[in-house]
């Protein structure tokens, strides 16, 4: 994998995206139960040379994602 910004191949993989000084986690929201939601941890691959975030992703895709109003799940 190469950095699209500087072309470096020095990529740091699986870096957790976090939020400090707050109780609620940062992440993609999913439905845990009928009225409760959770947040799936977001990970990033980061260029060690220029700091560009090359990729963001979640590891568990089996969630009931909370889509915006009017949005439909992919087929």
Tens-level pLDDT at each residue, the chain (75 residues): 999 999 999 999 999 887 766 666 678 888 888 788 888 889 999 999 999 999 999 998 898 988 877 666 676
Q: How far apart are CA 2 and CA 61, in angstroms?
A: 25
Q: How far apart are CA 25 and CA 1, in angstroms?
A: 29
What pLDDT is stored for residue 12 in this prediction? 97
Are the C-beta atoms of 62 and 12 separated by less than 8 Å? no
Q: Which residue has the tokens 């939020």?
A: 19
Are the C-beta atoms of 20 and 68 separated by less than 8 Å? no
Angle at 4 between CA 3 and CA 5, to 5 degrees: 90
Q: How far apart are CA 8 and CA 60, in angstroms?
A: 28
């Amino acid at each position: 994998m190469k950095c699209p910004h500087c072309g470096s191949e020095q990529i740091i993989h699986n870096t957790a995206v976090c939020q400090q000084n707050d109780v609620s986690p940062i992440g993609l929201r999913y439905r845990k139960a009928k009225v409760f939601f959770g947040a799936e941890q977001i990970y990033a691959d980061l260029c060690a040379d220029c700091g560009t975030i090359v990729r963001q992703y979640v590891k568990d895709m089996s969630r009931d994602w909370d889509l915006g109003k009017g949005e439909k799940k992919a087929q």
